[in-house]
C-alpha cells in the first residue's frame, strides 16, 4: 500500500497533497500488542527505554504489524525527570511515580541543569538504530513532554485528576514556578534537539494534561514556556503540538507554536480546524475507545472524520489520545487500512 516514504513525504503529509491521508497513532507501540508484551516480559519499562536494541525493536513493531505511515520513537516523556534527582519509577498498574516530588519554592528554583547527552543518550542511540533499520521506508517521529505536563508530574508525584498541588503552586509561588518552567522548557528543547541531531524527522510535544487549565491560566502560566521550548528547536523540523481537553485552549496553543496542532476527540474536527485557521496542519481525532467496538463502527467513525476534513492537505489521521491497552490489534490494523482506502485519491 504505502509507497516509499521519507522525510520529504512527511513534509508533504503536513503541507501538501499526498495520495492518501497519512495515519500514525499515539502510543502505537504498547501493551495492546503481544510482541510488545513479550519484550516487557523480560525487561522492566525503564530497562526497556534504556536498552537501545530493545527500544528500537519495539519502535519498529507497529510499523511492521500495522502499516502506519510513521514510526514513533519508543521512549517516555518522563525520562528527562530522572536526571533531576527526584527519583522516577514506574510501578505495575499505577503508572509513573516520583519519589521526591517538588513541593517547595526552594526545590523548584534549584532544579539542576540536565546534560541530555549524558543523561538520556540512550534515547539518541535508539533513534540512530531505528533510522538505520527503517532505511527511509517511513519517517521517524520523536517526542517530549511540554513544560506544564512535566511540572504536573514533578509536583503531584504521579498521575492526578484535579492537579490541585500544581495549580496551587503555580499561583502561590509565581517566581519559583517561572524558574521551574523555564528550566523544563530548556530541558525539553535540549531533549528534542538531541533526538533531531540523532535523526528524528518530526517531533511531537505532549502537553497531555494542560486541559485542566482555564484559558487565562494557560496564557499566563504555560504559554510562554511552551513557546520557549518550541522556539529553542533546531529550525526546519515539523513540530506537532498536542494536548487533551484543549477545546478552549487551541488558539493559544497555536500561538505557542507548532506546525501541526493535535486535536482530541472532544472537538469536531471540521469547524475546529476552520476556527484555528487552515494555515496550520491538524492531527486527529478518533476517540481511541472506538477501537474497542466493531470494525463497522470504526469505519463509520473514521469516515466521519475524513468527510469533515474533505481531503484538505495538512490533515494527519490519528487518535485523539493514545491507544488503550485493551484494544484488539486487528481493529488497529483495520483502522489503518480503512483510512488509506477511504482517503486514496
C-alpha–C-alpha distance, residues 27 and 313, integer Å: 24
Residue from 10, 26, 240, 281 binding ligand CP3 (CB under 6 A): 26
Tell me the C-alpha to C-alpha distance, in Å, between residue 20 and each of 25, 44, 310. Answer: 16, 38, 12
Stretch that binds ligand CP3, among 71-79, 112-120, 278-286, 296-304 (CB under 6 A): 71-79
Residue from 322, 334, 340, 343 binding ligand CP3 (CB under 6 A): 322
Write the CB contacts of 93 (distance below 8 Å, at least 6 apart in sequence): none
Residue from 20, 124, 169, 206 binding ligand CP3 (CB under 6 A): 206
Whether 153 is catalytic = yes
Residues 131-150 that bind ligand CP3 (CB under 6 A): 143
Residues 147-176 that bind ligand CP3 (CB under 6 A): 159
Whether 76 is catalytic = yes
Residue from 15, 31, 137, 303 binding ligand CP3 (CB under 6 A): 31
Q: Looking at 15, 40, 137, 266, which residue is catalytic? A: 40
- Look up cell 471540521; give the residue: 270
Whether 15 is catalytic = no
- Within the chain, residue ranges assigned H as helices are 7-15, 34-42, 45-49, 52-66, 105-109, 116-134, 147-156, 164-172, 174-198, 215-221, 223-231, 250-256, 269-276, 295-309, 329-343
C-alpha–C-alpha distance, residues 319 and 264, integer Å: 7
Is 29 a residue that touches ligand CP3 (CB under 6 A)? yes
List the catalytic residues.
27, 31, 40, 76, 153
Q: Which residues bind ligand CP3 (CB under 6 A)?
A: 26-31, 40, 45, 72, 74, 76-78, 90, 95-96, 143, 159, 206, 208, 321-322
Amino acid at each position: 500500500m504505502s509507497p516509499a516514504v521519507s522525510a520529504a513525504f512527511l513534509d508533504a503529509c503536513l503541507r501538501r497533497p499526498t495520495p492518501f491521508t497519512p495515519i500514525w497513532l499515539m502510543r502505537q507501540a504498547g501493551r495492546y500488542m503481544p510482541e510488545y508484551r513479550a519484550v516487557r516480559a523480560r525487561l522492566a519499562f525503564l530497562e526497556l527505554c534504556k536498552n537501545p536494541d530493545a527500544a528500537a525493536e519495539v519502535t519498529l513493531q507497529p510499523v511492521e504489524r500495522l502499516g502506519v505511515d510513521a514510526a514513533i520513537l519508543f521512549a517516555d516523556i518522563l525520562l528527562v525527570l530522572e536526571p533531576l534527582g527526584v527519583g522516577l519509577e514506574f510501578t505495575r498498574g499505577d503508572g509513573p511515580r516520583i519519589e521526591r516530588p517538588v513541593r517547595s519554592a526552594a526545590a523548584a528554583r534549584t532544579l539542576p541543569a540536565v546534560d541530555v547527552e549524558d543523561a538520556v543518550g540512550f534515547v539518541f542511540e535508539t533513534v540512530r538504530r531505528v533510522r538505520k533499520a527503517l532505511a527511509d521506508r517511513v519517517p521517524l517521529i520523536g517526542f517530549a513532554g511540554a513544560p506544564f505536563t512535566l511540572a504536573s508530574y514533578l509536583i503531584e508525584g504521579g498521575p492526578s485528576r484535579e492537579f490541585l498541588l500544581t495549580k496551587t503552586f503555580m499561583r502561590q509561588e509565581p517566581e519559583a514556578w517561572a524558574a521551574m518552567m523555564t528550566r523544563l522548557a530548556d530541558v525539553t528543547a535540549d531533549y528534542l534537539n538531541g533526538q533531531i541531531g540523532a535523526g528524528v524527522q518530526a517531533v511531537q510535544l505532549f502537553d497531555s494534561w494542560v486541559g485542566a487549565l482555564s484559558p487565562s491560566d494557560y496564557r499566563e502560566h504555560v504559554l510562554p514556556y511552551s513557546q520557549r521550548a518550541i522556539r529553542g528547536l533546531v529550525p526546519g523540523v515539523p513540530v506537532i503540538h498536542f494536548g487533551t481537553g484543549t477545546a478552549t485552549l487551541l488558539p493559544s496553543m497555536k500561538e505557542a507554536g507548532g506546525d501541526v496542532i493535535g486535536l482530541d476527540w472532544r472537538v469536531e474536527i471540521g469547524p475546529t480546524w476552520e476556527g484555528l485557521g487552515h494555515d496550520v496542519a491538524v492531527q486527529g481525532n478518533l476517540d481511541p475507545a472506538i477501537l474497542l467496538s466493531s470494525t463497522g463502527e470504526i469505519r463509520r467513525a473514521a469516515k466521519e472524520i475524513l468527510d469533515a476534513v474533505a481531503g484538505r492537505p495538512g490533515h494527519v489521521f490519528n487518535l485523539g489520545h493514545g491507544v488503550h491497552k485493551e484494544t484488539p490489534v486487528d481493529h488497529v490494523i483495520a483502522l489503518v487500512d480503512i483510512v488509506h482506502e477511504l482517503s486514496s485519491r
